Amino acid sequence: MAGLSSLLLILAILALTPAVVMGGFLLYCIWAYCPVIRRIFEERPMFLPLKLTPEDVGEPSEFRTPEGLTLRGSYFKARTDSRVGVLVFCHEFLSDRWSYAPYLDHLRDRGFDVFSFDFRSHGASDVDPSYDPLQYASDHEVDDLKAALAHLRKRPDRDLAGYGLFGVSRGGGTAILVAADEPDVWGVVTDGAFPTRGTMTAYIVRWAEIFVRAKWFLRLVPRFIFSTLGDVARAGTERNRNCSYPSVERAVASLAPRAWLQIHGGRDVYIGPDIAREFFALASEPKELWIVPDAKHNRSRETEPEAYARRLGEFVDRNAPRRPLVEVEEEAVSSAFGRFEDSARPVEAGLIANVASPVTG
């Protein structure tokens, strides 16, 4: 009997040893690398986003967030006799509401109203003194977009059929997070959207390949180790910046039955196409993925303006609650879509300025 007990003890020790070793390795990595990961995660991008001088300022509007901040937006009515639907534009980090024009203004000729607004601490909206935003979608951007939808629902001309959301980069992630919870959102279009956790994990893996010379060792490290390091580092940022970064992956998995068109640059070195494809795979039908071969981050529209206008128009026509009453001439759409100057982006856009290029090539 004593021999059996000893054998069981030895087997238990052997069984627990890998778990203890893995746990110790994880704790060491958290202690050694999470401060570095957090510092890089909090780097603000070194780029000038799309900025335009508006030709049409629309109908000015104001609304308040749950915290009492005043956000400002503009409502642009369709240039047709009747309305097909309402689209809400979510601008990229450091941009503002006027950047809607190159993306959505041409859809007003197809019967769509467009509402565009400035997120907190952007454009003409109030600055939130307790929150320093980053290029990742947080609960504050989610609150802002939900407040925008609540504002639209109170308009005398509100659309009882619901709303379509369009978001660029961080705005795209915000649109997905909100759409998954709002039953009156009928469709989502994103350009350059990305999952916060998935993007962090991909970057951490690539950093490890740079700093760890033993490639065979990295192949033995379970992927959850890298994900956990990102989670711990991100939690520190959340405490420091008075926010949380909701799971965009979980939201996109709950997006159906709302239709989703995901647009992404094939030469995006910041959010690689592999990240975009993995992100897309999480969603259920109906969904569409368009990888624009020669486009960089947030540059798909500039790279393929005619195809961009056509695909966007086809998507909203197909999924809007009402069908367009008139056919829009393709040549007219292309002409209107391409009239905005690309000089509004003087330098290359990026998410993590000091590490993205050497990491992703």
**Exposure of 222 by Cβ count < 10 A (0-12 exposed, 13-18 middle, 19+ buried)?**
exposed
Domains of the chain by range and CATH? 59-198+236-360 (3.40.50.1820)
pLDDT single digits (tens) 88-129? 999 999 999 999 999 999 999 999 999 999 999 999 999 999
CA atoms within 13 A on the CB side of 160: 1
Residues 97 and 120 sit within 8 Å (Cβ to Cβ)? no
pLDDT single digits (tens) 232-285? 999 999 999 999 999 999 999 999 999 999 999 999 988 999 999 999 999 999
In whole angstroms, what is the distance from residue 204 CA to residue 240 CA?
Answer: 21
Left (φ > 0), alpha (ψ -120 to 50) or beta: where does 162 sit? left
* pTM (predicted TM-score): 0.86
pLDDT means per 10 residues in the chain (361 residues)?
A: 61 62 68 78 77 89 97 97 96 96 96 97 97 96 98 97 97 98 97 95 84 74 86 93 96 98 95 96 98 95 96 95 65 51 47 35 32
Residues 264 and 304 sit within 8 Å (Cβ to Cβ)? no
- Identity of the amino acid at 126: D
Bridge partners (DSSP) of residue 114 are 76, 87
Q: Is 144 helix (H, G, I), strand (E, B) or coil?
A: helix
What DSSP character marks residue 70? E
